[in-house]
């Protein structure tokens, strides 16, 4: 029976490469000299630290531009608010979303059921598996989900016949 999985994955190697490029650019820029601006990755989250809120915002913009250039989907990034850090500094946390959240999974299943096609959708952890006997109906579901423009970076993988 043909099936495919709907997932949300971010290539962390590309994230690391973008962080390194952003660090190089920040080190070379005159407006960041002596500010001690740092960009780090802690698990799935990115941290931007600097002396003030303006520099944190500018460093985060540099980082987001590098991530976009490396092909990291912007819908998978959840920037937090700029907060005060110890020592009179400022910081910002940018969460990198891995996996389809339960809320988005329910929304995907709802879209599949609204299509009135005889297609089954099952939530399996952080994935949604869609299956049906006819391949054409699965392709129709893919185009319907893409057209819905959900607020998540979705990929369609493991298309099997």
CATH superfamily of 12-96: YajQ-like, domain 2 (3.30.70.990)
Burial class (CB in 10 A: 0-12, 13-18, 19+), 138: buried
The domain defined by 3-8+99-160 folds into Alpha-Beta Plaits (3.30.70)
Q: Each residue's pLDDT tens digit in the chain (161 positions)?
A: 788 888 888 889 999 999 999 999 999 989 888 888 899 998 889 999 998 889 999 999 999 999 999 999 998 899 999 888 888 889 999 999 888 888 888 888 888 888 777 888 888 888 888 888 777 778 888 888 888 888 888 888 877 77
Rounded CA-CA distance 110/133 in Å is 20
Domain ranges of the chain: 3-8+99-160, 12-96
Rounded CA-CA distance 80/46 in Å is 10
């Amino acid at each position: 029976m043909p099936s495919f999985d709907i997932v949300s994955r971010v290539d962390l190697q590309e994230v690391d490469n973008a962080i390194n490029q952003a660090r190089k650019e920040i080190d070379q820029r005159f407006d960041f000299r002596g500010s001690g601006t740092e960009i780090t990755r802690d698990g799935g989250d990115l941290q931007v630290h600097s002396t003030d809120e303006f520099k944190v915002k500018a460093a985060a913009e540099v980082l987001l531009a590098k991530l976009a250039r490396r092909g990291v989907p912007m819908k998978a990034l959840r920037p937090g608010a700029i907060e005060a850090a110890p020592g009179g500094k400022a910081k910002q946390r940018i969460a990198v979303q891995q996996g389809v959240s339960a809320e988005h999974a329910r929304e995907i299943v709802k879209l599949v059921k609204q299509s009135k096609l005889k297609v089954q959708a099952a939530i399996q952890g952080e994935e949604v598996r869609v299956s049906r006997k006819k391949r054409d109906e699965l392709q129709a579901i893919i185009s319907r989900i893409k057209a819905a423009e959900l607020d998540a970076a979705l990929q369609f993988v493991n298309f099997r016949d």
